[in-house]
């Protein structure tokens, strides 16, 4: 059989009652002393604690103000962003993708660069509150370079199934072959060649105006590749 848990018993007799009272008074005295010491310590330390709290508050306010100022400065910069064709031609592939990302942000598409190995035909992805998601495949070429139909096929195949896009665009600082533009027009893959790029980046025309992108989100538009 298990042992019964021990239980406290009430003091018996005058001696035990007196001992219990002494212990209780000692505990009460110790608690009062500790409370008094804590209050005195707080009285002595409150200026330091107050200064620490004010410093922490000021630092937090400075961080918030700095972040707000940075966002405002970036917004102002993007609002007047213009990129010339000569500047595009002098860029490398990564710089070209970053420039397209910034242009999308200028036009109200908060965007991120995703280009690189395994990007699955998407270098920049932007999301617009009214117009949905846009996937941009960037093709930076040398002067006179042409982009062929194979790029259009790749974008069509991944825009919906992989990236859940509502709009897909191929952008180049060069030109497209006639077959590429015809195929893109038939299958809903938008294209921006050198002339359209100039109107978008240098002239300031918003991309959705340039390409006539609908404000109505059409989910699953690219679900099936042709």
Q: What integer pLDDT is reported at residue 226 of this predicted model?
A: 34
User: Among positive and negative, which fits the CA dihedral 101, 193, 80, 84?
Assistant: positive
Q: What integer pLDDT is reported at residue 225 of this predicted model?
A: 37
Structure tokens at 160: 């919906």
* pLDDT of 74 strictly over 60: no
Q: Which residues pair with 169 in a beta bridge?
A: 136, 190
The 10s digit of each residue's pLDDT in 144-165 is: 799 999 999 999 999 989 999 9
User: Among positive and negative, which fits the CA dihedral 128, 130, 132, 135?
Assistant: negative
Q: Among 3.40.1350.10, 3.40.50.620, 3.40.640.10, 3.40.47.10, what is the CATH number of 85-211?
A: 3.40.1350.10
Distances (CA, A) of 122 to 13, 31, 112, 125, 140: 89, 69, 11, 7, 14
pLDDT (mean) for 92-101 = 96
Distances (CA, A) of 182 to 34, 152, 185, 187: 86, 10, 5, 9
Q: What integer pLDDT is reported at residue 7 of this predicted model?
A: 62
Round the average pLDDT of the chain to a whole number and report it.
83
pLDDT band at 51 (very low <50, low <70, confident <90, very high): low
**Is there a contact between 202 and 150 (Cβ–Cβ < 8 Å)?**
no
CA atoms within a 13 Å half-sphere pointing along the CA-CB vector of 153: 4
pLDDT (mean) for 65-82 = 58
Which one has a higher pLDDT value, 217 or 166? 166
* pLDDT of 176 strictly over 90: yes
Q: What integer pLDDT is reported at residue 112 of this predicted model?
A: 95
**Is there a contact between 176 and 146 (Cβ–Cβ < 8 Å)?**
yes
Q: What integer pLDDT is reported at residue 224 of this predicted model?
A: 42
pLDDT band at 222 (very low <50, low <70, confident <90, very high): low
């Amino acid at each position: 059989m298990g042992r019964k848990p021990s239980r406290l018993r009430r003091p018996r007799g005058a001696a035990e009652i007196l001992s219990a009272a002494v212990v209780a008074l000692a505990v009460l005295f110790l608690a009062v002393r500790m409370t008094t010491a804590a209050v005195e310590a707080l009285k002595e330390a409150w200026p330091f604690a107050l200064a620490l709290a004010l410093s922490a508050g000021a630092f937090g306010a400075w961080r918030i103000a700095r972040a707000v100022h940075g966002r405002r400065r970036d917004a102002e910069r993007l609002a007047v962003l213009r990129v010339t064709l000569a500047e595009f031609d002098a860029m490398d592939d990564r710089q070209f993708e970053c420039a397209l990302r910034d242009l999308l942000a200028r036009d109200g598409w908060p965007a991120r660069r995703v280009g690189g190995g395994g990007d699955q035909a998407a270098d920049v992805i932007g999301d617009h509150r009214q117009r949905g998601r846009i996937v941009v495949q960037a093709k930076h070429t040398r002067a006179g370079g042409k982009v062929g139909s194979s790029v259009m096929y790749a974008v069509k195949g991944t825009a919906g199934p992989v990236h859940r896009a509502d709009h897909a665009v191929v952008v180049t600082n060069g030109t497209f072959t006639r077959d590429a533009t015809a195929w893109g027009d038939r299958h809903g893959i938008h294209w921006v060649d050198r002339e359209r790029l100039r109107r978008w980046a240098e002239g300031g025309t918003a991309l959705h105006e340039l390409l006539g992108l609908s404000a109505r989100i059409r989910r699953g538009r690219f679900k099936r590749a042709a």
